[in-house]
Amino acid sequence: MDHLVSPSLLAADFGNLGKSIKLVNESKADWLHLDIMDGVFVPNISFGFPVMEYVRKLSEKPLDVHLMIIDPDRYITRFRDAGAAILTVQYEACTHLQRTVTEIRNLGMKAGVAVNPHTPVSLLKNTLPFIDMVLIMTVNPGFGGQKFILESYNKITELRDMIDRGAYNVLIEVDGGIDTGNAEALIRSGVNVLVAGNSVFGSEDPVLTIKRLKTLH
């Protein structure tokens, strides 16, 4: 399959959110990525349900929602109702991960699991049959604009091998420091979904940047 591009709204101009969503609608982007932070699991707070519901009304792209929060089970149904098409939870935040991802799927969403830079992807071996995507964080979660962690390539390669050996229908998504300079190497390493924030919304022409990310091989 061709790789997907999911621009991260966290890097958009929140003073003109409608304009940012409109340009994503008009671009070759496949999804729109939303980072939900609670100030506890990560040292930052982003936005909650009212903003997400506003985004859903304007977005023509499926909402790719990443929960960087503790105890995500409390809110799974709320995020479904707020418009999430893909709901990703943090491995480190889930006590009963299989139960959590099963509930996400039962509610009609795609289920993803994110791993922080220090978390080995080998820990996901027994979870792969129950999920649709793994999000490898290529920076420490919490803030945009960080430098890509080069060790991430080894994790991607290892995870790609695990997925292929088990013949699982699981996408690999990466988030953190992604731009046109490293996207091609990431795709060659086995990545299916590129999340890009600052490199898109900080560029002079976000629509063109998305097109470039989308057409790399």
Residues 6+ apart with CB under 8 A from 154: none
Q: How far apart are the first and last CA of the chain?
A: 11
83-to-16, 52, 61, 141, 165 alpha-carbon distances in Å = 21, 8, 11, 23, 33
Who contacts 29 (Cβ-Cβ below 8 Å, separation ≥6)?
5, 6, 7, 61, 210, 214
User: Of 35, 38, 64, 132, which one is the catalytic site residue?
Assistant: 35
Q: Measured in whole angstroms, how far is the alpha carbon of residue 80 from the centre of its chain?
A: 16
**Does the annotation count 30 as an active-site position?**
no
Tokens of 12: 């958009």
Given a contact cutoff of 8 angstroms between Cβ atoms, the answer to whether 174 and 138 are in contact is yes
Q: What region, left, alpha or beta, does residue 106 occupy, with left being phi > 0 and alpha being psi -120 to 50 degrees?
A: alpha
- The question of whether 35 is a catalytic residue gets the answer yes
Strand partners, 175: 137, 195
Are 18 and 58 in contact by the 8 Å Cβ rule? The answer is: yes
Out of 30, 38, 175, 179, which one is annotated catalytic? 175
Active centre residues (catalytic): 35, 175
